[in-house]
Chains A and B, each alone.
Chain A
Amino acid sequence: MEINQSSRLTDKNRTHPFILSELDSQPQPSAQYPAFAPKEAEQIIIEIKNLSLHYGKFKALGDISMSIPQNKITAIIGPSGCGKSTLLRSLNRMNDLTPKVHIQGQILLDKVDILGANVDVVEVRRRVGMVFQRPNPFPKSIYENVAYGPRLYGIRKRLDLDNLVEYSLSQAALWDEVKDKLHQSGMALSGGQQQRLCIARALAVQPEVILMDEPASALDPVATLRIEELMHTLKKSYTIVIVTHNMQQAARVSDFTAFMMIDNPATRTGVLVEYDKTIKIFTNPENKQTEDYVTGRFG
Chain B
Amino acid sequence: MITNQASANSLPLIRPEINYSRRKLANKLMLSFTGLLTLAALAPLVWIIGFVAIKGSQTITWAFFTQLPRPLGMAGGGVLNAIEGTLILTIIAAFFAIPPGILAAIYVADHPNTPLGASVRFSTDVLSGVPSIIVGLFGYALVVKTQGHYSALAGGLALAIIMFPIIVRTTEEMIKLTPRNLREGSLALGAPEWKTYLSVILPAAIKGIITGILLAVARASGETAPLLFTALGNERYEIGQIISSGIRSRQGVWSIFNRIIEQPVDSLPLTLFKYSQQPYPERVNQAWAAALVLIGIILALNIIARLWVNYSSSNLKGK
Contacts and interface: CB of A to CB of B under 8 A. Distances in A.
Interface string A56-78: 00000000000000000000000
Interface string A187-206: 11100000000100110010
Contact of A139 (B113, B187, B204): B204
A277 interface: no
Interface string B177-198: 0010110111111111001000
A140 B203 contact: yes
A132 B319 contact: no
Given A185-B318, A187-B318, A136 B190 contact: no
Nearest to B319: A188
A136 B189 contact: no
A187 B190 CA distance: 22
B187 A97 contact: yes
Interface residues of A, number: 33
B316 interface: yes
Contacts of A129: 188-189
B123 interface: no
B189 A149 contact: yes
Contact of A205 (B184, B190, B316): B190
A84 interface: no
A125 B195 CA distance: 15
Interface in B146-172: none
Interface string A108-146: 000000000000011111100110111011111000000
A181 to B, nearest CB: 11
Contacts of A202: 188-189
Nearest to A184: B318
Given A132-B184, A136-B179, A136-B181, A125 B189 contact: yes
B256 interface: no
A205 B189 contact: yes
A239 B199 CA distance: 29
User: Interface of chain B, helix or strand or loop or mixed?
Assistant: helix
A122 B187 CA distance: 8
Given A138-B200, A139-B204, A140-B203, A188 B318 contact: yes
Interface in B298-319: 316-319
A20 interface: no
Contacts of B319: 188
B13 to A, nearest CB: 44
Which among A152, A153, A185, A189 has the highest number of chain B CB atoms within 10 Å?
Answer: A152
A148 B199 contact: yes
Contacts of A205: 189-190
B316 A139 contact: yes
A94 interface: yes
A92 interface: yes
Contacts of B316: 139, 187
B78 to A, nearest CB: 45
A153 B190 CA distance: 9
A148 B187 contact: no
Nearest to B317: A187
Contacts of A201: 185, 189
Interface string B101-135: 00000000000010000000000000000000000
A138 B179 CA distance: 10
Nearest to B203: A139
A149 B318 CA distance: 22
Contacts of B185: 130, 132, 136-138, 198, 201
Which among B188, B316, B318, B319 has the highest number of chain A CB atoms within 10 Å?
Answer: B188
Given A140-B203, A185-B318, A187-B318, A148 B189 contact: yes
A149 B195 CA distance: 11
A94 B191 CA distance: 12
Contacts of B187: 94, 97, 125
A205 B187 CA distance: 13
A94 B184 contact: yes
Nearest to A186: B318
Interface in A72-101: 92, 94, 97, 99
A230 to B, nearest CB: 18
A201 B184 CA distance: 13
B182 A152 contact: no
Contacts of A92: 188
Interface in A263-289: none
Nearest to B182: A136
A126 B113 CA distance: 30
A130 B187 CA distance: 10
A148 to B, nearest CB: 7
Top 4 A-B pairs ranked by shortest CB distance? A188-B318, A187-B318, A130-B188, A125-B190
5 contacts: A94-B184, A130-B185, A136-B185, A139-B200, A148-B200
Interface of A: 92, 94, 97, 99, 121-126, 129-130, 132-134, 136-140, 148-149, 152-153, 185-189, 198, 201-202, 205
Given A99-B113, A189-B318, 17 more contacts: A94-B188, A97-B187, A121-B190, A122-B190, A123-B190, A124-B190, A125-B187, A129-B188, A132-B181, A137-B185, A138-B185, A138-B199, A138-B200, A139-B316, A148-B186, A186-B318, A201-B185
